[in-house]
Structure 1
Amino acid sequence: MTSSHAARRRTPRPGAGLPLPASYLVWLAAATVSQLGDVVFGFAMGWVAAEHGGTAAGVVLAAGSLPSVLLLLLGGTVADRFGARRVMIAGDAVMIAVSLALAVAVLHAGTPLWLLLAASVLRGIVSAFYRPSAGSMPRRLVADEQLTRALALRQGAAQTVLLLGAPLAGILVSAGGLGSVALLDAGTFLAVLVVLLLVRPRYATPSSDPGEPVWRAALDGVRVVRRTPGLPAALGLTGGAAAFLLPTMTLVLPLLARDVGWGASATGTIMGAQGAGIVLVTVVVARRGGSRRPGMAASGGLVTAALGQAGLVAAASTPIGEVLGWPTIAAAAVMGCAVGVGSGLFTAHLAPVVLGSAPRTHLARVQALVGLVQVLALTITNPALGALASATSPAVAGGVCALGLLACAAGGATALRRLTLDQVEGAQ
């Protein structure tokens, strides 16, 4: 390598070290408040629905997720055609009305099952149109050189909401019930609506052809992903991570904890350690930027998460804490933190690849496909891992998750080894 070439590689990218735009930070603050409202409302819905029995609670939650899955790609298509900001403004306005109507209905009719089902379905429909738009907003508000830092900050904010949301939800539901939570949720939607009316995208995004049928425009998103270098591999890796990484804390850990007799408090501590690991990584990436080789960094994150998963299984199945001289729960919390660090590394480096590689005419549709890949992967692996844990043991299911992540990491390292941040930032 010549010295001049090395110097060019060390030259700072324009805008890479500049502060993130105020418009993005204001939008992110409002979106984070809205997400907190979603977390609290989701807890409240599950809690109230459980009063009608386990089957009813499952139906209520499924009623919200099913329309979201079925309409997600359509939502991305509409956002690319009419503008993500317009779709989000309409979505926030609808959700304010829905939340206020729910609060009034609860006041007069209580919480009958039909009301919970109707509210869940309406939220699921709006979410299908809202999520792809919101997912594409960072690239509409920040320069491509700042995308990694912007998405890391958003991931850290989202994880912080998840850490704080559950305890807050429990307090609010106990104090005010579903009606009060619905009023709070309306207030969070109003905050985002006001911000969206004031904030406009900084970077122009061409609209899709208005004369093209909607169904064809939706399928065109699949075609674009297939033909865009790096995107098929990145989406495949996203699906693999969703299949084997996301069930770690939501499914495998609770099963492990019950199997070995860990209490709810100890399990919550381990989950909190995972969240702390994610926040730690995202704070570093948001301040210093990501790796110049995002594909390799994302694969390394999966390896780290897999080692954490294996350590978590070992902490539950064998006295690994005694070997290290730590209490078992402390050892498990360290392993949970490792899972979080790996998860943070993966998302902080792969999310900019997906969003940054997408053509600007297809930003929302690509984000819709990301959501579909994740949901479909979880739909397959969650029941399979649960059945495997029942037939064998939760430790075996955890081991399968770790092996699956290692296989995904190997595939990602091979498929994305040549990908650099310069290629992502140069996407049009």
Structure 2
Amino acid sequence: MTTPLPSPLRSPAFRRFFAGRLVSLLGSAMAPVALAFAVLDAAPGITDLGIVLATRTVPMLAFLLLGGAAADRFSRRTVLLVAHLGSGLTQGAFAVLLLTHHYTLLSASALALLNGVLAAFTSPALRGVVPQLVDREQLRQANALLGSLANAAKILGPSAAGLLVAASNGGVAVAADAASYLLAAVFLARLPIAGTAERPKSRLLAELRSGWAEFTRQGWVWRVTTAFFLMNLVQTGTWQILGPQLTREVSSTAGWGLLLSVRGAGMLLASALAYRLAVRHLLRTGVAVSVLGALPLLALGAGLSLPALLAAAFAGGCGSGLAAVSWDTSLQEHVPGEALSRVSSYDDLLSYLAIPVGQLSVGPLAAAIGGRELATVTALLYAVAALSPLVFTSVRTLPHAAARTA
């Protein structure tokens, strides 16, 4: 009979990290709603909002690789601390512009650009720091806890932002997001991480080349990342752009909000279940269940009623939640720690590059073949892309370190 592993929360270091993520994720989940209403209130039309969002996204993608190299070269605690302090200051400055009625598109875009650069340094360091806080056998549990936290924030954050905007204005909600970054930095500053493992330091381009070499050497990594690219290419734009319209045709505008909440609840449940899911091949399981993400698109394409849409969204959320935990855990278990952030940055960059392409393609394609037809086609393509990594032995047989503790 095996002895269950103790919870990662029994570690003081992980508790501090967990507390910092709790504060930061709640603020980040509030930010999109707060930003949207703040800019819409300050500027006529939607043009300014699109420009502000784009000026954050582009530098985030452009600097991801540099962020991964920095997190592998320097202390990840320091990288996270600087990024959170910087994000708190940029969001705080944006809140001041809004609250003092000094908003201009140029100033807002400049702050959004800085915020995007800081976000590029945050993501690779976050994935790389977890193995420095818990034992290898506790990684799945740690990622399940963090995933549950992130998914709960996605449910609670937008609602809290909406209430805050309604009670005051968007500037106050943006200020709350800024405060969350600064408070999270207090917790991160106390993490007992001095630096990364000692290794020879080389030039930046050499660091990036070695990160790419590690990314391509691990066959299962680039094969699953390729699948993520294709899944994001066909799914994200269709879901974000066609989803609200197709849902409103069978229900109402409120139905779309309910659909997103139910999908988030499915992701939350899956993350919680992953805490105890000690299977022999965790990556294979995560890849297999990721195909459930095609169900909401199929339901939209078929014009199903709102209850059926909600059931499909819940199932799709469950698949996405478990797939996310299995992917993060597999990377942390099998990619060398000194290259983990760079490999993660290549994964993020290649996965996210597909999103704007898909978003720009949805309008013309829907006009050519019809919205419901496009949703059906993208659902089928998504399913094929999701399952494609299972063709490869390296994906099917990758072992899970904590499987023996089930």
**TM-score if structure 1 supplies the norm length?**
0.86
Residue 231 of structure 2 is aligned to residue 254 of structure 1: no
The structural deviation recorded for 1:18 is 1.6
Match of 1:222 among 190, 202, 212: 212
Residue 256 of structure 2 is aligned to residue 264 of structure 1: no
Query: How far apart, in 1, do the equivalents of 2:174 and 2:295 lie?
Result: 41
Query: How far apart, in 1, do the equivalents of 2:102 and 2:223 lie?
Result: 49
Residue 215 of structure 2 is aligned to residue 236 of structure 1: no
The structural deviation recorded for 1:308 is 4.5
Query: How far apart, in 2, do the equivalents of 1:387 and 1:351 lie?
Result: 35
CA contact (8 A) 2:278 2:403 kept: no
> Who is 2:19 aligned against?
29
Query: How far apart, in 2, do the equivalents of 1:105 and 1:170 lie?
Result: 20
Query: How far apart, in 2, do the equivalents of 1:102 and 1:187 lie?
Result: 12
CA contact (8 A) 1:299 1:412 kept: yes
Deviations 1:122-159 (A, max 9, x none): 11111111221122222221112111221122122111
Match of 1:175 among 167, 171, 190: 167
Residue 29 of structure 2 is aligned to residue 39 of structure 1: yes
Per the alignment, in what secondary structure is the counterpart of residue 421 of structure 1?
coil
CA RMSD of aligned residues (A): 2.4
Residue 397 of structure 2 is aligned to residue 418 of structure 1: yes
CA contact (8 A) 1:45 1:116 kept: no
Query: How far apart, in 1, do the equivalents of 2:262 and 2:226 lie?
Result: 28
> Who is 1:165 aligned against?
157
The structural deviation recorded for 1:80 is 0.9
> Who is 2:263 aligned against?
274
Match of 1:372 among 346, 349, 367: 349
Deviations 1:82-110 (A, max 9, x none): 12111111122223333333343434443
Query: How far apart, in 1, do the equivalents of 2:343 and 2:298 lie?
Result: 33
Residue 144 of structure 2 is aligned to residue 152 of structure 1: yes
> Who is 2:200 aligned against?
209
> Who is 1:97 aligned against?
89
Query: How far apart, in 2, do the equivalents of 1:398 and 1:38 lie?
Result: 29
Residue 283 of structure 2 is aligned to residue 295 of structure 1: yes
Using the TM superposition, name which of 336-345 and 243-252 deviates more.
243-252
Per the alignment, in what secondary structure is the counterpart of residue 217 of structure 1?
helix
The structural deviation recorded for 1:424 is 11
> Who is 1:332 aligned against?
309
**When the two structures are aligned, how many residues end up with a matched partner?**
398
The residue type paired with residue 268 of structure 1 is G
Query: How far apart, in 1, do the equivalents of 2:44 and 2:355 lie?
Result: 26
CA contact (8 A) 1:303 1:342 kept: yes
Match of 1:309 among 292, 297, 322: 297
Query: How far apart, in 1, do the equivalents of 2:101 and 2:258 lie?
Result: 38
The residue type paired with residue 200 of structure 2 is D
CA contact (8 A) 1:104 1:179 kept: yes
> Who is 1:5 aligned against?
none
**TM-score if structure 2 supplies the norm length?**
0.90
Using the TM superposition, name which of 150-159 and 348-357 deviates more.
348-357
> Who is 2:6 aligned against?
18
Structure 1 residues 276 and 423: alpha-carbon distance in aligned structure 2, compared to 1, 3 A threshold: closer
Query: How far apart, in 2, do the equivalents of 1:390 and 1:366 lie?
Result: 38
> Who is 2:112 aligned against?
120
Deviations 1:187-228 (A, max 9, x none): 2122211111212249x7415532x11122122211111112
Structure 1 residues 295 and 130: alpha-carbon distance in aligned structure 2, compared to 1, 3 A threshold: closer
> Who is 1:3 aligned against?
none
* Identity rate, percent: 25
From the CA coordinates, give the structure whose radius of gyration is larger.
Answer: 1
CA contact (8 A) 1:149 1:285 kept: yes
The residue type paired with residue 106 of structure 2 is W
> Who is 1:348 aligned against?
325
Query: How far apart, in 2, do the equivalents of 1:32 and 1:240 lie?
Result: 31
Per the alignment, in what secondary structure is the counterpart of residue 42 of structure 1?
helix
Query: How far apart, in 2, do the equivalents of 1:411 and 1:341 lie?
Result: 19
Per the alignment, in what secondary structure is the counterpart of residue 66 of structure 2?
helix
Structure 1 residue runs of 4 or more that deviate by more than 6 Å after TM superposition: none
Deviations 1:28-65 (A, max 9, x none): 23212212212323322222323332222111110111
CA contact (8 A) 1:82 1:207 kept: no
Query: How far apart, in 1, do the equivalents of 2:399 and 2:234 lie?
Result: 26
Which consecutive unaligned segments of at least 5 residues does structure 2 have?
none
Which consecutive unaligned segments of at least 5 residues does structure 1 have?
1-10, 321-327
> Who is 1:6 aligned against?
none
CA contact (8 A) 1:302 1:405 kept: no
Deviations 1:335-391 (A, max 9, x none): 111111221232222221223222111121122122212211212222223322222
> Who is 2:367 aligned against?
390
The residue type paired with residue 299 of structure 1 is V
Query: How far apart, in 2, do the equivalents of 1:43 and 1:35 lie?
Result: 14
